[in-house]
Amino acid sequence: MDVERVIDELYGLRPSEFTAARDAYAAEARRAKDTRAAKTIAALRRPPLAVWAANLLARERPEEAERFLGLGEALREAHRTLDGEALREASRQRNRLVAALVRTTAGLAEEAGQHPSDAVLGDVETILHAVLALPDVAGPWAKGRLTAMPESAVGFPAAPEGTPPARPPAAARARKTPEEPAAARARKTPEAPAAARARKTSEAAAAARAEKARKAAAEAEATLVRRERERDTAREAEAAATEAARKAADRLRRAERERAEAEEAAAEADRAAAEAGTALRTADHALDEARAASEHAEEKARRTEG
């Protein structure tokens, strides 16, 4: 069995179709005595809806996926340089692109007959951020084979506070007017310490809640996988027991047929013995009569001669 082809096919199915198809392929491999393939396929994890939707995006929009992966490489490089202005611009570009791809994913899922909720689309957004930040997530996603929510599904950190922005080109400095718009001045107004602390506390609490939810989802997924494996083991044991019972029943039927044939043969032998006994008694009687007749004839002959 071509395991890679099977894996690619399974992760292209909707989640509701995954388990039955996986079990069918695993059973087919077992019937073919391909133990390694059967174990590999049986161990495959059913992807959650958000993971399936993210895989669908990579499968159905390969060119956009390739550009997105290129952005991830560029972002990682920009973050290594610690250029604050570049990081902030890259972050804005990333957020716009991720939002656009989430909308595309929602449309693709609808076309495939699924109706992802806002929570599911939020998970898709989390996955896409992880694809940008983590190469070990980007690899499976690029093949449309991501199996679960990434354990560390986080994006790039924000630009460090106080990181000096890169100096703009001379032409840009020359074009800058002395009077900046009020909105621009407002954006540059330093955040009050108390407000900054409250914002950071709120963000930390939200991040903690999100991490707790991700861990709970990972634990639930692990439990599901474990239960599926236990079910597969029980199913294999049931199949083996059923086969053993069938063979025992076949042996019992053969033994019953042989016993019936032996009983019939014994009855036939008994009938033949009875008939032979009757024939023997008839022959003995006839012999006795013949002997008596012979003796009588001899006695009569002697009397005649005397």
- Contact predicate 41/29, CB 8 Å: yes
CA 285 from centroid of its chain's CA atoms: 88
Encoded tokens for 75? 């972002």
Contacts of 160 (CB under 8 A, 6+ apart): 82, 84
- How confident is the model over 53-80, as a mean pLDDT? 88
- Contact predicate 64/141, CB 8 Å: no
pTM here is 0.50
| Alpha carbons 75 and 98: distance in angstroms, whole number | 13
Contacts of 113 (CB under 8 A, 6+ apart): 14
End-to-end CA distance of the chain: 111
pLDDT, tens only, 249-292: 677 787 688 887 878 777 777 887 788 778 888 888 888 888 88
Residue 104 neighbours by CB distance under 10 Å: 15
- Contact predicate 79/156, CB 8 Å: yes
- How confident is the model over 3-17, as a mean pLDDT? 93
Q: Is the pLDDT of residue 120 over 70?
A: yes
What's the DSSP call for residue 144? T
Contacts of 129 (CB under 8 A, 6+ apart): 94, 98, 153, 154, 155
| Alpha carbons 136 and 98: distance in angstroms, whole number | 19
pLDDT, tens only, 143-164: 999 999 987 555 454 444 444 4
List the Cα angle 115/138/87 in 5-degree steps: 100
Q: At what angle do helices 62-81 and 49-60 cross, to 10 degrees?
A: 100
In the chain, the amino acid numbered 58 is A
CA 164 from centroid of its chain's CA atoms: 49
Q: Name the residue with tokens 């199949």.
A: 239
pLDDT, tens only, 180-218: 444 444 444 455 676 667 777 777 776 667 566 555 544
